[in-house]
Chains A and B, each alone.
Chain A
Amino acid sequence: TQLLEQSPQFLSIQEGENLTVYCNSSSVFSSLQWYRQEPGEGPVLLVTVVTGGEVKKLKRLTFQFGDARKDSSLHITAAQPGDTGLYLCAGVGRASGTYKYIFGTGTRLKVLA
Chain B
Amino acid sequence: GAVVSQHPSRVICKSGTSVKIECRSLDFQATTMFWYRQFPKKSLMLMATSNEGSKATYEQGVEKDKFLINHASLTLSTLTVTSAHPEDSSFYICSAPTTYGYTFGSGTRLTVV
Are the chains A and B members of one assembly? Answer: yes
- On whether A42 and B104 interact (CB within 8 A), knowing A86-B41, A106-B42, the answer reads yes
Instruction: Check if B107 sits within 8 Å of A40, measured CB to CB.
Output: yes
Tell me the minimal C-beta distance from A32 to chain B in angstroms.
12
Instruction: Check if B57 sits within 8 Å of A43, measured CB to CB.
Output: no
Name the residue on A nearest B42 (C-beta).
A106
Q: Is the interface of A mostly helix, strand, loop or mixed?
A: strand
Tell me the minimal C-beta distance from B25 to chain A in angstroms.
14
Instruction: Check if A40 sits within 8 Å of B91, measured CB to CB.
Output: yes
The count of residues in chain A whose C-beta lies closer than 8 Å to any C-beta of chain B is 21
The count of residues in chain B whose C-beta lies closer than 8 Å to any C-beta of chain A is 23
Instruction: Check if B49 sits within 8 Å of A100, measured CB to CB.
Output: yes
Instruction: Check if B43 sits within 8 Å of A88, measured CB to CB.
Output: yes
Most chain B CB within 10 A, of A1, A33, A42, A108, is at A42
Name the residue on B nearest A48 (C-beta).
B101
B8 CB–A CB distance under 8 Å: no
Instruction: Check if B46 sits within 8 Å of A102, measured CB to CB.
Output: yes
Name the residue on B nearest A108 (C-beta).
B41
Instruction: Check if B43 sits within 8 Å of A104, measured CB to CB.
Output: yes
Name the residue on A nearest B49 (C-beta).
A100
Instruction: Check if B34 sits within 8 Å of A98, measured CB to CB.
Output: no
Contacts of B101 in A (CB 8 A): 33, 45, 48
Contacts of A104 in B (CB 8 A): 43
Tell me the minimal C-beta distance from A69 to chain B in angstroms.
17
Instruction: Check if B104 sits within 8 Å of A43, measured CB to CB.
Output: yes
Bound together, the chains give a CA A33 to CA B60 distance in angstroms of 24
Q: List 5 A-B contacts (CB under 8 A).
A: A41-B106, A41-B107, A43-B104, A98-B49, A105-B43
Contacts from A to B (Cβ < 8 Å): 1, 6, 33, 40-43, 45, 48, 86, 88, 90, 98, 100-106, 108
Known contacts A1-B60, A102-B46; can you find 14 more A-B pairs with CB under 8 A?
A33-B101, A40-B91, A41-B107, A42-B93, A45-B101, A48-B101, A86-B41, A86-B43, A90-B102, A101-B97, A103-B43, A103-B44, A105-B43, A108-B41
